Amino acid sequence: MIKDTIKQAFLDLLPDPEPIIEEPVVEAAANDTAEDGKKKKAVKKEEPPRVNGVLECDHAAHGYDIDVQLEPGELLAAVMILDKNDFFLESITGVDWIKEKQLESVYDFSRYDFDQCRVVIRTRTPRDNPNIPTISKIYPGANWHERETHDFFGIKFEGHPHLIPLLLPEDADFHPLLKDFKP
């Protein structure tokens, strides 16, 4: 099965890293107030532990099957694994982890045969120097996704052939999806 093949390829690629500390995942209650009017406490939703940054997920619950967290220097090798296994790039976006002083780039991949193997790759970079290698040499369609992510989050994709604004004005010196952005 392709999912097992891909998961094993990532496990072989990635060393056992320092764990990335995230906000706890909280499952929202359907009714967040008790009968007495007091707020109910949120219940933590437990996830299985990551192995070398790789987490196998329940497709029905998450919408993807494999979630990979890696360092920016490991990104190109991981993307080449997906390319060699006939995955296509769905999207690239960013996340501003302002409290951790990091920006995260999130890559979504899938297959045309819909073998229920959607893969999410996440990589974080310091917020004050957000550099990640471009994947546009492997997936040419990543070009405009990276330009959009650069527009909105300020992540610089090293080696990108034409990293100019895509949606913002050419003279824009701001990134509107950063949490500390003030219009």
70 lies in some domain: yes
Alpha-carbon span 135 to 78, nearest angstrom: 10
Question: Is 80 exceeded by the pLDDT of residue 98?
Answer: yes
Determine what percent of the chain is predicted with pLDDT higher than 90: 50
pLDDT of the residue at 104 = 97
Query: In this structure, is residue 118 part of a structural domain?
Result: yes
Is residue 161 in a domain?
yes
Specify the amino acid at residue 127.
R
**What is the enclosing helix (H) or strand (E) of 56?**
strand 54-56
Strand ordering across the sheet containing 102-111 = 54-56, 66-70, 119-126, 102-111, 87-97
| CB count in 10 Å sphere of residue 29 | 13
pLDDT at residue 20 above 50? no
- Number of H helices and E strands in the chain, helices first, is 4, 9
pLDDT value at position 8? 83
CATH number at residue 65: 3.30.460.80
Q: How many domains does the chain have?
A: 1
Q: Is 21 within the bounds of a domain? A: no
In a domain, 22, yes or no: no
Note whether 165 and 175 are within 8 A (CB).
no
Tokens standing for 98? 């302002």
Q: Cα–Cα distance between 32 and 28 in angstroms, integer?
A: 7
- Give the span between the Cα atoms of 106 and 122, in whole angstroms: 5
Average of pLDDT values for 11-37? 57
pLDDT value of residue 40: 55
Question: Is 32 inside a domain boundary?
Answer: no
Quote the CA–CA distance of 79 and 86 in Å, as a whole number: 11
Give the domain range for residue 94: 1-16+48-183
The tokens 């701001």 sit on which residue? 174
Range with the lowest mean pLDDT among 71-85, 96-110, 161-175? 161-175
DSSP state of 19: P
pLDDT greater than 50 at residue 13: yes
DSSP string covering 160-182: -TT---SSS-TT----TTSTT--
47 near 25, Cβ under 8 Å?
A: yes
> Is the residue at 29 inside a domain?
no
Prediction pTM value? 0.78
Asked if residue 3 belongs to a domain, the reply is yes
Query: Token pair of 155, please?
Result: 């992540």
